[in-house]
Structures are given as C-alpha cells and as structure tokens.
Amino acid sequence: MRTPIIAGNWKMNNTVEEALSLVRELKETLNDVKDREVVVCPSFTALYAVANELKGTNLKLGAQNCYFEDEGAYTGEISPVMLKDLGVEYVVIGHSERRTYFNENDDLVNKKAKALLQKGLKPIICVGETLEQREAGETETLVRKQVFRDLDGIEPYQLKDVVIAYEPIWAIGTGKTATSQEANRVIALIRATIKEMYSEKEANTLRIQYGGSVKPGNAKDLMNQRDIDGALVGGASLKAESFEAIVKY
C-alpha cells in the first residue's frame, strides 16, 4: 500500500504573518490525520517561522524550489543544506511555472533531484504537458521523456524518497482539470515507465500525485483512482477550509 501524500503549494503568496495564520488553522484541523502525509510548502521567507510552528505536529514542511549546489556564489539561490537546516523534508522541483517562466529544463531538474537525495531530502518532481502538446497527441512521448531525464542516474534504493507529480500545464490555475480517468491514465503511464527504468517493485511503491486545479469537489474522484497517490494543490491550499476538505477527501 502506498501512503497518500497531499501537498499544498502556496506559490508566491502569504507574508510571514499570513503564513502563520494559515498553518495555525491547519494544525487545528489536520493534526489528527495519520493515514496520509500532509505537506505545506510556503515561500522561502516564511519557511523558518512555519517550521517552528509545525514542530510536534503531523504536518510536514516542504519548499517550492532549490538549487543543486551546497553553497557558493549563486546570488538569490537556496541550497539543499539550507533547507535541511530549517527542517524541510520535501522540495518541489521542475514545477511547470519554473520550467515556463524561468526556463528550467530536465537537466537542471535532474541535478536538483540528485542534490536533494544526497542530502536526505525528498524531491517532488513535476512533469506534464502544455495544451499545444496535448492537442498534438504528444502527451505520452513528452511525459515519458521527462521521467527518463529527470530520474537519470538516480538509484533504485533512492526512489523510496521520490514523489512524482503529474501536472498537465493546461490545467494549472485555469480552472480546468483532467478527468480522473485521464489523469489516472497518464499516471499509469508514468508508473509503467518506472517499471521499464527500474523494476515492478519500484513501480509499485513510487508515489505519484496529480496536480492541476485540484479542489474539494474533485479530490475524492481523483484519489479513488488506482494509480493516483495524492495531490499537489495550488490555489485551494491557500484556504484552510478547502485544503482540509481535499486532505480529508
């Protein structure tokens, strides 16, 4: 059995005080959840404060990005060492917004994944297609290519600490959502790719989330699919009530 994992990606939202207010609400409603992992991913400026607020709870701390070097002259970047020092456990990498707005590619995502795993952190690796690629029938080819490149050189024993998030780019922040059946179909393809790269054992144990306009109204249907192990939640994670409803689908 794969433990479901629901992660809230707050993106570039919430001041420190707003982040603390939100996480205090989440502590009251979600700290008793024990059969699934719940992760909150604030912006960098709120990580320290939120980390302190989460101590002694069941909620896990995630970051929204990192660089692959431990230290050095990389102005504006944050290293895995710094994140681990704060108590971060999960790190989202390869998010479509990073790929689209900041030109991040699979080679960079792969370097980040390796650096995180080396430091004992758990990458949430995002893959997914644009609307144009979907309409051109390129979904399967593109997603397989991303998985192969993003996991290149990662050893089988390390996969226990890897989460993959399938996020069709056309469904992020648009209000559109892949049907639960379509999302499951692509995630099953990702699982088959893992089997091809590694073995059936790794394919059956690797957790794969869906991300793309996940809301309280569609969370249960998505999570009831055979191959979907969780959700990477954007806008709906900014309100305690809606995020709670998703977590408790």
* Helix, strand counts (H, E) of the chain: 11, 8
Cα separation, 143 vs 127, whole angstroms: 6
**Exactly one of 53, 95, 129, 202 is catalytic; which is it?**
95
Look-up of token digits 């226990």: 160
Cα separation, 113 vs 154, whole angstroms: 8
Beta bridge partners of 41: 9
Q: Is 167 one of the catalytic residues?
A: yes
Q: Is 95 one of the catalytic residues?
A: yes
Task: Provide the token pair at 127.
Answer: 């893959």
Cα separation, 115 vs 69, whole angstroms: 7
Cα separation, 25 vs 64, whole angstroms: 21
For residue 176, what are the CA distances in angstroms to 5, 119, 155, 169, 180? 22, 36, 35, 10, 12
**Exactly one of 53, 97, 129, 167 is catalytic; which is it?**
167
Look-up of token digits 């990389």: 74
Catalytic annotation, residues: 95, 167
